[in-house]
A and B are shown apart, each in its own frame.
Chain A
Amino acid sequence: MFLLEIIFTVGGCALAAGAVLILLALMGFPPGHILELWYRGAVADRYALADTLTKACPLLLTGLAAAITFRAGVFNIGAQGQLLVGAAMAVAMSTRLLSPHTPPLPGITMCLFAGAGAGAAWGLLASLLELWRKVPVVLSTILLNFTALYAVKILLHSYLQAHGTSAPQSSQIPPHFCLPVMMKYTSLHIGVLIAAAVAMVAEFVQVMTVFGFQTTAIGLNEAASRLVGIPVAARQIQAMLIGAGCAGLAGAIQILGVAHFMTAKIGNYGYAGIAVALLGRLDPMGVAVAALFFGALDAGAQRAEESSIGLPHETSNIIKAVIILAMLIIGAWSMRRTLRSGLWQQRNTETGDGA
């Protein structure tokens, strides 16, 4: 059953990529050449691999943000907003709040925690709105994404704005607060390790702890979870805090590790994270694999765009989208199949009086 799912998933990815390649071939791009460029951009040597890892890092964290919350039945579409808020908080910490004389280690730690905390707080807002005012999380998180975007823009125009510029951007982060780079001539920073560690902890929590057991139960059947005495609302809020914290951390790491200064155009990692989470079947390790895959797609696409054939890097987005759709269809189909087989047995024994 589990194996079957993996086969389906990998097969779906291959099919989707193949379909897009065929489409590209029809448009006059030689598929062989594209594959080669892709290979060189994503995995061929250590620089390419470093690029893939760097690109996968924020996706992994936002993917976890979506996976952890979805798993608990909380539809947190707000990773983008939480990421922005987290990034802004990290910038505020590093350029404004902390004295430039803070030593690097506590400085960076504080920045990262501040980012994660800000993201979590932003997510908590949506949870509380649901708890107190019954606002669906789906809607409030979307709205909070935009609120965050403009709030961050306001900050970038005022408090965080670099001196001597009128553009909405922050000043450079002091070099000793930037995440150390692990490999020369690349931007492979230690944030990748942090993200990997977070993913591993998340996997452990999900498989081995009471918390993971309970949140998964809630996501699969809220009514049954409630009846066996699992504190549903509390677990959902906790899941939201952790997930949103991951998204905030993603923002902080992206700023401290890659961008080194902030504009409002930080990248659509929040939305892409949802795709990563879905592809990874909401399982932290699956999310890690999916994030690597998407990172490789992005890294390869970048190489293909820079090359002579000038393939737009959005092609990687098409592949992603087609994959998601394929996964959805397969998922819906297999769900129906299992349910039908289960219900069929029941139908045969159930009393059928009326509807």
Chain B
Amino acid sequence: MSPLLELIRITRRFGNLTALSEVSLRVNTGEVFGILGENGAGKSTLMHLLAGALQPNSGQILLEGQKVVISSPRRAFELGIGMVYQHFKLVGTQTGMENLALFAPGGWWRGVSAEVRQTADRWRRELNWNVEMHRPVERLSVSEQQRIEIIKALSLGGRLLILDEPTAALTPAQVDSLLSTVRQLAERGLTVLLVSHKLAEIKSVCDRIMILRQGRMTLEAAADDVSTSEIITAMIGKDISLPTAARAPQGGRSVLELEHAEPKHRGRHSFGRDRSVLKAASLRVNAGEIAGICGVEGSGQIELSAILTGETDAAGRLVIDGIPLTKFGARRHLKDIGVIPADRQKEGLILPWSIHNNLALKAHDRRPFSRWGILRRRGWSDHHERIKRQFDIRAGDLRMPVVGLSGGNQQKVIVARELELKPGFLLAINPTRGLDVGAAAFVMQQMLTARDGGMGILLIHDDLDELLRLSDRLYVMYAGHLYETPWPDATRRQIGAWMLGNELESLRSGPRGDDGFRDRRNGPVQP
């Protein structure tokens, strides 16, 4: 009997980047198949290929031995592939049943047909779920929304169910119930593809697993046959020791103190993705050190940075440079701290503007760049020429719009602007994302120089290698909780395990901490 799904040497490139390289796999009917990998390993590309949102550059997809081309999402449904994205694809103002009907095939003039209703009810009965299908989904909880998504995927597809990071936003009890549902479905002959960063879950529920690393398959095995340690190695590579610039604690004053900070909950339910993951975060950054935060995507990093930039109001205590911000929503502090935002084009730069203006964006209203509210542009030129040399911004003319620069030089403009004022505290989010090696090295070097100059830096970064290279201290973020690690006295492998939610217990009574701050570590540890 041929397997339900077979991929043969699938390759997908984006520009110069190869997201998936010659990946082959076989999934049998009635199997729960887990796909694991770090951020950017190619998992979501793989799923988008199966859901019809992307096409492979080469390779074949076979379904029950037949070669298929999944040309569109609709085609995927027709082939029996149902997909549940991490960010649900639901119309918030419509009820669960209506969302189902929106996706259901068939005529435009049919309403919520009896067929849709029956299919949905059948799955609800089978899963023994009592989901409210007649209220707008935005008024439902995340887990209820997810159930609707799963019912939707099952009614549409019904043969192969793909779950993308299904447990990211769920409580432990909800996770347990979801995983048992997955098993239940598999026993009924349905095939489930489970994509996750979370090792424990995958191991407990999957029959077989596959591990992707940098677009390649590094391991495929039955879940019971491999040890956790083998999996971690396959995911994050050999445990090589990396050069690190970590220094011993400098004992500087604290430039950022965060105590039990989390987004303020509003009375109303907000739609799924807006729901906060972050829970009572406490951390501290001292002058002259880089504190890194690592964690798999969606562990709460976005919420944390939103709090620090005043994007969302927060509960808790936040002290920057010794000044407590009583009302977090106040954005006045942004003038006095440095921010290297995650998306340089959308949040960092004013693209049609000249390099001059972009460099001056932060300092333009202080002396000597302006006086009495009037800009003194004459003084800018020399200053900016100096910055240009110092930060190696490769541009012919500073009057050129910044949109014409390469990504690396754009990032250098931001880094120059934020570091140049020598703020006491810098928040850097993925500062080297998408840069070529040279530019990335330069940006990192600048951050180290700034640290040596006494700046306190909070670094939230996807790239674990770079993060480890830069950080003096390291926090791990898992499921919205922050844990301080004993870095640099921890190995990369250990850190990898913590990021995936393993062995976090050891961090509870963490071996290190500067001045009693470690005891404020918080949050329950999930199994």
Instruction: Name A residues whose Cβ lies closer than 8 Å to a Cβ of B.
Output: 1, 208-211, 213-214, 217, 220-221, 223-229, 231, 338-339, 341-342, 345-355
The answer to whether residues A210 and B373 also contact, given A1-B401, A226-B331, A346-B434 and a CB cut-off of 8 A, is yes
Residue contact B349 to A221, C-beta cutoff 8 Å: yes
- Which one of A208, A228, A346 lies within 8 Å of B361 (CB-CB)? A228
Residue contact A351 to B434, C-beta cutoff 8 Å: yes
Q: List A contacts of B44 (CB < 8 A).
A: 353-355
Q: List A contacts of B17 (CB < 8 A).
A: 350-352
Answer whether residue B406 sits at the interface, using C-beta atoms and an 8 A cutoff.
Answer: yes
The answer to whether residues A342 and B403 also contact, given A229-B331, A229-B332, A348-B16 and a CB cut-off of 8 A, is yes
When C-beta atoms are compared, the residue in chain A nearest to B402 turns out to be A342
The answer to whether residues A349 and B331 also contact, given A223-B346, A227-B348, A354-B44 and a CB cut-off of 8 A, is no
Answer whether residue B40 sits at the interface, using C-beta atoms and an 8 A cutoff.
Answer: yes
- Which one of B339, B345, B357 lies within 8 Å of A227 (CB-CB)? B339
From A229, A341, A346, name the one whose CB has the most chain B CB atoms within 10 angstroms: A229
Q: List B contacts of A221 (CB < 8 A).
A: 346, 349-351
Residue contact B334 to A353, C-beta cutoff 8 Å: no
Per the bound structure, the CA–CA distance linking A227 and B305 in Å amounts to 11
The answer to whether residues A210 and B347 also contact, given A349-B436, A352-B17, A354-B48 and a CB cut-off of 8 A, is no
Residue contact A210 to B364, C-beta cutoff 8 Å: yes
Chain B 314-370 residues near chain A, CB threshold 8 A: 331-336, 339, 341, 345-353, 357, 360-362, 364-365, 370
The answer to whether residues A209 and B374 also contact, given A349-B16, A351-B40 and a CB cut-off of 8 A, is yes
Q: List A contacts of B408 (CB < 8 A).
A: 349
Per the bound structure, the CA–CA distance linking A213 and B353 in Å amounts to 11
Q: List A contacts of B406 (CB < 8 A).
A: 345, 349
Residue contact A231 to B331, C-beta cutoff 8 Å: yes
Residue contact B48 to A224, C-beta cutoff 8 Å: no
Per the bound structure, the CA–CA distance linking A355 and B357 in Å amounts to 31
- Which one of A225, A227, A231, A353 lies within 8 Å of B42 (CB-CB)? A353
Query: Can you sample 29 A-B contacts with CB below 8 Å?
Result: A1-B401, A209-B370, A209-B373, A210-B364, A213-B364, A214-B365, A220-B351, A220-B352, A220-B353, A223-B347, A224-B348, A227-B309, A227-B347, A228-B362, A229-B333, A229-B335, A345-B406, A346-B345, A348-B16, A349-B16, A349-B434, A350-B14, A351-B434, A352-B14, A352-B19, A352-B45, A353-B41, A354-B44, A354-B45
Residue contact B407 to A349, C-beta cutoff 8 Å: yes
Answer whether residue B511 sits at the interface, using C-beta atoms and an 8 A cutoff.
Answer: no
Q: List A contacts of B341 (CB < 8 A).
A: 224, 227
Q: List A contacts of B377 (CB < 8 A).
A: 208
When C-beta atoms are compared, the residue in chain A nearest to B39 turns out to be A353
Q: List B contacts of A224 (CB < 8 A).
A: 341, 346-350, 361
Per the bound structure, the CA–CA distance linking A205 and B342 in Å amounts to 32
Q: List A contacts of B39 (CB < 8 A).
A: 353
CB distance from A274 to the nearest CB of B (A): 21
Closest CB pairs A-B (n = 6): A352-B14, A354-B44, A229-B334, A229-B335, A342-B403, A350-B434
Per the bound structure, the CA–CA distance linking A350 and B417 in Å amounts to 22
Residue contact B362 to A217, C-beta cutoff 8 Å: no
Q: List B contacts of A231 (CB < 8 A).
A: 331
When C-beta atoms are compared, the residue in chain A nearest to B348 turns out to be A224
Per the bound structure, the CA–CA distance linking A309 and B262 in Å amounts to 74
Per the bound structure, the CA–CA distance linking A342 and B14 in Å amounts to 16
CB distance from B193 to the nearest CB of A (A): 15
Per the bound structure, the CA–CA distance linking A214 and B375 in Å amounts to 11
The answer to whether residues A208 and B351 also contact, given A223-B346, A349-B406, A353-B42 and a CB cut-off of 8 A, is no
From A214, A217, A341, A352, name the one whose CB has the most chain B CB atoms within 10 angstroms: A352
CB distance from B84 to the nearest CB of A (A): 15
Answer whether residue B444 sits at the interface, using C-beta atoms and an 8 A cutoff.
Answer: no
From A225, A231, A352, A353, name the one whose CB has the most chain B CB atoms within 10 angstroms: A353
Q: List A contacts of B279 (CB < 8 A).
A: none
The answer to whether residues A338 and B403 also contact, given A353-B42, A353-B44 and a CB cut-off of 8 A, is yes
The answer to whether residues A346 and B375 also contact, given A224-B346, A224-B349, A352-B17 and a CB cut-off of 8 A, is no
Answer whether residue B404 sits at the interface, using C-beta atoms and an 8 A cutoff.
Answer: yes
Per the bound structure, the CA–CA distance linking A213 and B53 in Å amounts to 42
- Which one of B41, B331, B335, B365 lies within 8 Å of A210 (CB-CB)? B365
Q: List A contacts of B333 (CB < 8 A).
A: 229
Answer whether residue B395 sits at the interface, using C-beta atoms and an 8 A cutoff.
Answer: no
Answer whether residue B15 sits at the interface, using C-beta atoms and an 8 A cutoff.
Answer: yes
Residue contact A220 to B350, C-beta cutoff 8 Å: yes
Can you add 11 more A-B contacts, CB < 8 Å, to A353-B41, A354-B44? A1-B401, A208-B374, A220-B353, A223-B347, A224-B346, A228-B417, A341-B403, A342-B403, A349-B406, A349-B435, A351-B17
When C-beta atoms are compared, the residue in chain A nearest to B371 turns out to be A210
The answer to whether residues A228 and B19 also contact, given A220-B352, A347-B14, A353-B42 and a CB cut-off of 8 A, is no
Chain B 79-104 residues near chain A, CB threshold 8 A: none
Residue contact A341 to B53, C-beta cutoff 8 Å: no
- What does the 1/0 interface line of B31-68 toward A look like (CB < 8 Å)? 00000000111111100100001000000000000000
Answer whether residue B422 sits at the interface, using C-beta atoms and an 8 A cutoff.
Answer: no
CB distance from B516 to the nearest CB of A (A): 33
CB distance from B396 to the nearest CB of A (A): 14
When C-beta atoms are compared, the residue in chain B nearest to A342 turns out to be B403
Per the bound structure, the CA–CA distance linking A210 and B17 in Å amounts to 42
Answer whether residue B433 sits at the interface, using C-beta atoms and an 8 A cutoff.
Answer: yes
Residue contact B350 to A217, C-beta cutoff 8 Å: yes
Q: List B contacts of A355 (CB < 8 A).
A: 44, 48, 53
Q: List A contacts of B309 (CB < 8 A).
A: 226-227
CB distance from A344 to the nearest CB of B (A): 9
Chain B 278-311 residues near chain A, CB threshold 8 A: 309, 311
Residue contact B375 to A352, C-beta cutoff 8 Å: no
CB distance from A4 to the nearest CB of B (A): 13
Q: List A contacts of B417 (CB < 8 A).
A: 228
Q: List A contacts of B53 (CB < 8 A).
A: 355
Q: List A contacts of B311 (CB < 8 A).
A: 226
Per the bound structure, the CA–CA distance linking A115 and B353 in Å amounts to 36
Per the bound structure, the CA–CA distance linking A347 and B16 in Å amounts to 9
Per the bound structure, the CA–CA distance linking A231 and B330 in Å amounts to 10
CB distance from A266 to the nearest CB of B (A): 35
CB distance from A185 to the nearest CB of B (A): 43
Per the bound structure, the CA–CA distance linking A341 and B400 in Å amounts to 14
